[in-house]
Structure 1
Amino acid sequence: MSYWHAVLLAIVEGLTEFLPISSTGHMIITSALLGIPVTAFTKLYLVVIQLGAILSVLAVYWKRFFQSFDFYLKLLVAFLPIVVVGLLLKKHIDALLDSVTTVAVMLLVGGVVLLFVDKWFPQETPQEGGRPVTNPSFKEALLIGLFQCLAVVPGVSRSAATIIGGLTQKLTRRAAAEFAFFLAMPTMAAAAVKDVYDYYKDAHAQGTDLAHLFTAEQLKQLALGNVVAFVVALLAIQVFVGFVTKYGFRAFGIYRIIVGGILLILIGLGINLKLV
């Protein structure tokens, strides 16, 4: 993987991590279109640069992190389902990461769902019953966490699944989006730590020690990717909250249907979009 590839993937990650269009799906598509070779490091890179993106949540909402301990317990409750599912299904999830077809189908299906989300959950102001506070109950946090589990399938979108979970619990669009952002931090951090550990375990089994786990070039790519993802996500997260609060999710649904449809047509025509 070249530095150009590293930067481009980081831009895609920063733009899409908090949009309901699947950041993992878009990075898989980008990798396939660019012909980036699939190695253990490139797979790890796609996960680790998500750390840079989620740090933008801390930068934007840093005052919110001084909330009650109760709030963090609720984040933990929402986080636990994805831990269980991730540990149980990791091998199957990793296999799906190589499938552009899976991404295309899930983009299409998820797009259809987003077309109706605004109708199913009409925007409510706090005075009309919508709950603006990003602090659901423990039961609601658990249900939102269960929705997040849908995102283990590439192309579903962790952001979309979690936000819809929040909407089902009567949160406003803004509150649902913001809780999804907060929940992304432990989720993505845990995924990165787990993948780094697995990467080390595999490398150690082949005789590589910790000091030589990454080459100097790979460390530079990881650092560069996280910085780029952070800066891009910092801008994207603020634009997204304002857009979805005002206009809803229909535009994202249309986008997903178009992209998913194009990919399925290309695959049907026999154009090779498989990761190499």
Structure 2
Amino acid sequence: MDIILALKAIIMGLVEGFTEFLPISSTGHLILAGSLINFTGEVAQVFEIAIQAGAILAVMWEYRARIGAVLGGITSDPRQQKLVVNLIVAFLPAAVLGFLFSKAIKAHLFAPVPVALAFIVGAFVILWAERRHKVLPGAHRVQTVDDMTVVDAFKVGCAQCFALIPGTSRSGATIIGGMLFGLSRTAATEFSFFLAIPTLLAATVYSVFKARHDLHASDLPLFLIGGVAAFISAFLCVRWLLRFISTHDFTGFAWYRIVFGVVVLITAHFGWVVWAE
């Protein structure tokens, strides 16, 4: 592996880590970055999903105390059992729909206009959710992750299904969906982090398994470099986001999404980026 390829892996890992947990769609940013640095192809597609493992590890490290408590109390502590059940319930809707319709989604929605529309429509949903959050302060009845019911978890899981649409953002769908369904901004964000663990892990394992015949031992260093870069950047991003939401809302991300949606349309129109897998 030459130094240029290693640098490309680092860039892609940084993009993954810095965008995975923000409501701005890591997929869209990875496509744009991959096109700009000429990091494309079958192996690159698997790489983009596999390096999510680095982002998963960053969340697991940030919440290592709670994860340890869950593992230690899963057979005896009702609080930990409740979180596990909620995560399973929230994970299933998108997992089932993704398994059934992933091919159709890739065939029909991975195009410039649907991606751009997902960015822009998602932005207006964020603006609406934030306005609703301010004018109806009593609407956020769930203050912490531990206050969530199974019904709350299922609703967030249904919201995550919208992330199957390229450009929507898994984090955006779960966080904003959670806020619309009555979760506080902090509870919605933390539950989105926890839900990312089974969701991204399943996507990573499934993608690598499907592409196992196209991968070689020589690809391992590339994946490791990208994974480490994703871990470091995701860890920094998660730490920053937790501080950010204590004093800010997501309005800025909404305007960023609108700008990015316009970027998608412009780059596709002039042929600068091939918005397809």
TM-score, normalised to structure 2, is 0.87
User: Structure 2 CA distance, aligned partners of 1:215 and 1:61?
Assistant: 32
Q: Does 1:12 find its partner at 2:24?
A: no
Following the alignment from structure 1 to structure 2, what is the Cα–Cα distance between the partners of residues 123 and 32? 42
Deviation, 1:104, is: 2.4
Q: CA deviation at 1:56?
A: 1.1
% identical aligned pairs? 36
The change in CA–CA distance for 1:142 and 1:196 in structure 2 (over 3 A counts) is same
1:29 aligned to which of 32, 36, 46? 32
Contact map agreement 2:22 2:171 (CA 8 A) in 1: yes
CA spacing shift, 1:103–1:21, aligned 2, 3 Å = same
Shift of 1:112: 2.1
* Aligned pairs (5 A) from 1:149-228: 149-200=161-212, 203=213, 213-216=215-218, 218-228=219-229
Gaps spanning 5+ residues in structure 2: where? 71-79
Counterpart residue number, 2:145: 134
Whether the aligned pair in 2 keeps the contact of 1:31 and 1:275 (CA below 8 Å) is: no
Q: Choose from 31, 53, 56 the match for 1:54.
A: 56
CA deviations over 1:112-154 (Å, ceiling 9, x no partner): 222222112239889x964322131111101100000100111
Unaligned runs of 5+ in 1: none
Which residue of structure 1 lines up, in the alignment, with residue 116 of structure 2? Answer: 104
TM-score, length basis structure 1: 0.87
Specify the SS of the correspondent of 1:245.
coil
- Between Structure 1 and Structure 2, how many residues are aligned? 262
Q: What SS does the corresponding residue of 1:176 show, helix, strand or coil?
A: helix
The corresponding residue for 2:256 is 255
What is the rounded CA distance, in whole Å, between the counterparts of 2:83 and 2:216 in structure 1?
A: 37
Secondary structure at 1:121 match in 2: helix
Structure-1 separation of matches of 2:248 and 2:99 = 37
Does the CA-based 8 Å contact 1:96-1:154 persist in structure 2?
Answer: no
Residues 123 and 172 in structure 1, CA contact (< 8 A), matched pair in contact too: no
Q: Which amino acid aligns with 1:162?
A: T
Deviations along 1:158-198, one digit per CA (max 9) or x if unpaired, are: 00100122112321101100000000000000011111111
Q: Partner amino acid for 1:259?
A: F
**1:35: Cα distance to partner?**
2.7
